[in-house]
């Protein structure tokens, strides 16, 4: 696990505690905010799972010790002042005690692509007559797959015949149509990201 040395973190600025923001290592979604003291940090490094300090109970607690919804920490970063931590983690189940993915709510997009996927889902659910996505879905998975193929060829051609802006435009068309195809097939952006995450191992 990549992490800053314990002694480089400013434990004294806030009375021995530092905020620890947890981010899904695959999707980038912010999952929760906890607090760590030096002991919690060192326990996290030792076991590879997120351990926090409970301000209400004044004791250490390992995330998921009762629910089983643990956080496998893959990387820890300190901010520029060394008084806030970012934990990148792989969640085993929902992080929030309410049984949802993030303590900040399910509806909060993690990225622009998540937001775009939500728009696509809306078009597929409502099927407005003037929606390009709805028309493409109505034409079937074969037509959607064909569009991905066409946009892939156009992107490849743009790479050798057009300027950077032109290539970016064609690449955006390709990604958009790929997202539409995935949703028509019932797959999510997270399914794609999970596959990419496997390739970084």
Average pLDDT on 87-99 reads 93
Q: Judging by DSSP bridges, how do beta strands 18-24 and 85-91 pair with one another?
A: parallel
Mean pLDDT of the chain: 94
Give mean pLDDT, residues 117-126. Answer: 94
The yes-or-no verdict on residue 108 having pLDDT over 70 is no
DSSP letter assigned to residue 162: S
List, for residues 129-158, the tens digit of each pLDDT value: 999 999 999 999 999 999 999 999 999 999
- What CATH topology corresponds to 6-91? Ubiquitin-like (UB roll) (3.10.20)
For range 111-126, the mean pLDDT: 91
**Structure confidence at residue 147 (pLDDT):** 98
Buried (b) or exposed (e) across 138-155, using 16+ Cβ within 10 A?
A: eeeeeebeebbeebbebb
Q: 112-199: what fold?
A: Helix Hairpins (1.10.287)
| Domain boundaries of the chain, sorted by first residue | 6-91, 112-199
pLDDT at position 14 is 85
The pLDDT of residue 109 is 63
**Does this chain's domain 6-91 share its CATH topology with 112-199?**
no
pLDDT digit string (tens) for 5-21? 999 999 998 889 999 99
Q: Report pLDDT for 72.
A: 97
CA-CA distance, 54 to 20, in Å (whole number)?
12
């Amino acid at each position: 696990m990549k992490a800053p040395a314990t002694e480089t973190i400013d434990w004294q600025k806030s009375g021995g505690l530092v905020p620890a923001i947890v981010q899904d290592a695959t999707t980038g979604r912010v999952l929760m905010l906890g607090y760590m003291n030096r002991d919690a940090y060192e326990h996290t490094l030792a076991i590879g799972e997120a351990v926090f300090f409970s301000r209400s109970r004044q004791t250490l607690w390992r995330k998921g010790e009762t629910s089983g919804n643990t956080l496998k920490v893959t990387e820890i970063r300190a901010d520029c002042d060394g008084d806030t931590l970012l934990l990148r983690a792989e969640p085993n189940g929902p992080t929030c005690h309410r049984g949802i993915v993030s303590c900040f709510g399910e509806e909060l997009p993690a990225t622009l692509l998540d937001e775009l996927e939500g728009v696509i889902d809306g078009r597929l659910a409502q099927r407005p007559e003037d929606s390009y996505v709805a028309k493409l879905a109505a034409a079937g998975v074969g037509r959607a797959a064909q569009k991905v193929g066409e946009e892939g060829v156009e992107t490849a051609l743009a790479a050798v015949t057009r300027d950077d802006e032109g290539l970016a435009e064609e690449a955006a068309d390709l990604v958009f149509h790929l997202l539409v195809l995935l949703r028509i097939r019932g797959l999510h952006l997270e399914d794609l990201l999970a596959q990419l995450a496997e390739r970084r191992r």
